[in-house]
Amino acid sequence: MTALLLLVPLLVPFAVPQQARRCLHRLPPTAALWALTLTALVLAGASVAALGALVLTGLLKLPFFAGLGELIHPLDTPSDLVVLPAAAAATGALTLGALTLVRSALRQFRAFRTARMQADRRPAAGDLCVIDSPHPDAYALPGRPHRIVVTTAMLRSLAPEEREALFAHERAHNAGGHHRFLVVADLAAHCHPGLRPVRAAIGLAVERAADEAAAVAVGDRRLTARAIARAALATRAARSERPDFAPAATTGPVPQRVAALLAPPVRGRPRAASWIAVPLALCAVLSAGASTTGVVTIHHQVEVAQGEAAR
């Protein structure tokens, strides 16, 4: 029974991407961003806890680790033919996830350090830092202070009013702390492969939220759409060295974002929004509940095996 409970957090994330796409289409971008990020965080934590519980169960079936755990009775679990392979698979999944996470974190840290040093060496006009480069690029760089980094090639690619729309987009990223959402999305994707499509959905929600904020700031949705489209066309052949958590107006499915800007803005009513987010909330509650129950049950079984609790 415990093993079945621990399978729930490992299977639920595969059902989330479809609901994530629905939220993106039906909710205002900022509401969708929060709903998707919180759901991804809960599902990732529940899956890691479930894998850890499976690993612990398998280890305590081995005499050496049972001795370290001071077990005086056999651990009450299903057959070793089930527990040990499950524990081995969970160990492999956790190890692979940890290795890819560390490798990604090191790569992101190097890219961020390079981008930050490059920006800090140049004079800034307020939060705007212009870098002399033949490659068009623009992005929001987190840190203290926040920076909007734009290359000279990008400035030459846009008309003055389009530049203002682009700057408004990047300022919205910094003002909304969007890099934090991207970090959480990347972390969740390393915890469970089923959450990788959710990472892409969170990235799109981040850009859509900044698109809408920029449209409000410049007062022209068509101008904002045109600026994003022209900036994306300018950067399509360029290679950027920025970290993945530094959001940029040219990332994501640009045609879909432009189409959304050319359409009337999504104005979800609170009651309608709550109904749209219900499936995501149910997935999070189901996964967290099953994981917590499974972990608590295993903890009780360990106490029983140690002679510290009654069956």
Q: What is the mean pLDDT of residues 241-270?
A: 79
User: Lowest-confidence range among 27-31, 57-61, 187-191, 220-224?
Assistant: 57-61
pLDDT of residue 44: 96
Residues 11-43: pLDDT tens digits? 999 999 999 988 888 888 999 999 999 999 999
Does residue 161 have a pLDDT over 90?
yes
Would you give the distance in Å from CA 115 to the centre of its chain?
21
Q: What is the mean pLDDT of residues 243-272?
A: 78
Residues 97-139: pLDDT tens digits? 999 999 999 998 898 888 888 887 877 778 888 888 888 889 9
Token pair for 205: 């929600």
In angstroms, the CA 131 to CA 300 distance is 60
